[in-house]
Chains A and B, each alone.
Chain A
């Protein structure tokens, strides 16, 4: 089985992705992660203005079969939250790198992105 790994994302080994978009960094979970979890039924996310810290949990994702913490790939302040996931958590399954995004973060330290796994490194990890 092969999973989508976009070139413009970087990854945590716990399967969250971070992608630079203009002035912020967008965070979500990988195609591999959504497939492992199965049908996502509930996502608990921080509020706008909350701080997240790289490597620490910032939310929870529940599928029918499992519950899992979400870990922040970068540190910063949440500036946007994907409210669509409240009523349509299945977007995480359907479009993990697009409509299934979770939060946008204004990051404290740009270099944190460089410390994350590259697409190739992440591909090796889930192979």
Chain B
């Protein structure tokens, strides 16, 4: 696969960032050190280039209906300038991707926007177009992923850092933004969609910026640049899902109830997968995504086996790391529901050796 690159690639290269392939994108994984970047976000502020995230705009008389039928949350509950977290599920209720759906502010060109994960934009564009045609809906669907860059400014000081370069008349509106609300704001002369959203557990904003002008916006923030490494440690501490890792329609098919995101399922709406999920909701699930921490020394990593104290395999690690904030090894694994309560002793096989571990409530960090 030919790697896709974010518009800021050369800018990151110039400051010596390390890169990694993620979902077909060559993205900065580390600018300074994961610890430094992670601490900046928890204690002050950090800025991420997350231009690997997709942007698909949907407009027209039936745009709302199309999104309502293809995502699990209730799109009709969104006023312009509001967004919501949602799953995209198949007929069997298996999560294909997780996303944020925006009912865009009235001053934007398009009516709705949703954000598929890295490398999923093509597939989700096709899914939207195919269903629009099948259902004969009047809506336009545009994959704008290459037209936009996306930045995430995160941390307890994110708001004050964001306000500096914002046009005078717009500062109050940004301060007034509630969680999952969005407005168009002018940053260093560039019109950006600014949303109070993020993937770190801290206060913060995500900015959708025209690709051609993102360098101007990026350079405006005097802020610790952060890579995907810190993005991962921050989201694991919060128990946030990573598409393709904590669920994957091919390698680890899961429904939203198993993945702990049942709150995004609105069974009183019509969407692909609804009937299957209604049955799952009624019958309950056998496994759930469960947090654990390693009591012994070591770092749990994706694919490591989790077993009970008799040595019986009960699951495998989907995400794990050494938590920089807690200084403890933590991880996520789908385990039988009887292991769901915190404090249950289990073992994780680390390079052939069973290590003591204990289930723990999510999120790992109170925020």
Query: Which residues of A sit under 8 angstroms from B16, Cβ to Cβ?
Result: 1
Q: Which residues of A contact B299 (CB under 8 A)?
A: 41-42, 62, 64, 67
Stretch of B30-38, B79-87, B142-150 on the interface side? B30-38
Which residue in chain A gives the minimum CB-CB distance to B34? A64
Q: Is the C-beta of A119 less than 8 angstroms from some C-beta in chain B?
A: no
Chain B residues positioned under 8 Å from A93 (CB to CB): 33
Please, how many angstroms separate the alpha-carbon atoms of A95 and B351 in the complex?
27
**B321 interfacial contact with A, CB 8 Å:** yes
Which of A39, A42, A64, A65 touches B298 (beta carbons < 8 Å)?
A42
- Minimum CB distance partner of B297 in chain A: A42
Give Cα A38–Cα B32 distance, bound, in whole angstroms: 9
Within 8 Å CB of A64, what residues of B? 34-35, 229, 233, 299, 321-322, 324
In the complex, A38→B301 CA distance in Å? 16
Is the beta-carbon distance between A39 and B351 smaller than 8 angstroms? no
Do the beta carbons of A39 and B301 come within 8 Å of each other?
Answer: no
**B229–A65 contact, CB under 8 A?**
yes
Residues of chain B with a CB closer than 8 A to A67's CB? 299, 301, 351
The answer to whether A60 has its CB under 8 Å from any CB of chain B is: yes
Closest to A69 in B: B351
Query: Residues of B contacting A62 with CB < 8 Å?
Result: 298-299, 322
Query: Is B29 close to A, CB under 8 A?
Result: yes
Question: Which residues of chain A are within 8 angstroms of B233 by Cβ–Cβ distance?
Answer: 64
Instruction: Tell me which residues across on chain B come within 8 A of A42, comparing CB atoms.
Output: 297-299, 322
Interchain CA distance A64-B325 in the complex, whole Å: 12
Q: A-B contact count, CB below 8 Å?
A: 36
Residue of A nearest to B323 (CB): A64
Interface residues of A in 13-49 (CB under 8 A from B): 38-39, 41-42, 44
Whether the Cβ atoms of B322 and A41 lie closer than 8 Å is yes
B30 nearest CB neighbor, chain A only:
A38
In the bound complex, CA of A60 to CA of B355 (Å): 15
Residue of A nearest to B36 (CB): A39
Q: How far is the CB of A40 from chain B (nearest CB, A)?
A: 10
Nearest B residue (CB) for A86: B297
- Does the CB pair A60–B351 fall under 8 Å? yes
- B229 cross-chain contacts in A, Cβ below 8 A: 38, 64-65
User: B30 to chain A: which residues have CB within 8 Å?
Assistant: 38, 65
| Chain B residues with CB below 8 A from A39, complex form | 33-35, 324
Q: How many angstroms from the CA of A64 to the CA of B33 in the assembled complex?
A: 10
Docked CA distance A67–B30 (Å)? 16
**Are A38 and B351 in contact, with the CB atoms below 8 A?**
no
What separation, in Å, do the CA atoms of A93 and B322 have in the docked complex? Answer: 16
Q: In the assembly, what is the distance between CA of A60 and CA of B298, in Å?
A: 10
Cα–Cα distance between A1 and B30 once the two chains are bound (Å): 14
Q: Is the CB of A38 within 8 A of B33?
A: yes
Interface string of B294-338 (1 = CB under 8 A from A): 000111010000000000000000000110100000000000000
Please report the C-alpha to C-alpha distance between residue A38 and residue B29 in the assembled complex, in whole angstroms.
11
State in angstroms the CA–CA spacing of A64 and B322 once bound together.
6
Q: How far apart are B53's CB and chain A's nearest CB, in angstroms?
A: 21
For the complex, give the distance between the alpha carbons of A1 and B15 in Å: 10
The residues of A that contact B29 with a CB separation of less than 8 Å are 65
Tell me, rounded to whole Å, the shortest Cβ–Cβ distance linking B351 to chain A: 7
Give A41 to B294 CA distance when docked, in angstroms: 14
Jot down 25 A-B pairs with beta carbons below 8 A, ordered by A.
A38-B30, A38-B33, A38-B34, A38-B229, A39-B33, A39-B324, A41-B299, A42-B298, A42-B299, A44-B297, A62-B298, A62-B299, A64-B34, A64-B229, A64-B233, A64-B299, A64-B321, A64-B322, A64-B324, A65-B29, A65-B30, A65-B229, A67-B299, A67-B301, A67-B351
**Closest 8 A/B residue pairs (Cβ):** A41-B322, A39-B35, A64-B34, A62-B299, A39-B33, A64-B322, A39-B34, A65-B229
Taking Cβ atoms with an 8 Å cutoff, the residues of B that contact A are 16, 29-30, 33-35, 229, 233, 297-299, 301, 321-322, 324, 351
Contacts A39-B33, A42-B322, A62-B298 aside, 16 further interface pairs with beta carbons under 8 A come to A1-B16, A38-B229, A39-B34, A41-B322, A44-B297, A60-B351, A62-B299, A62-B322, A64-B34, A64-B229, A64-B233, A64-B321, A65-B29, A65-B30, A65-B34, A67-B351
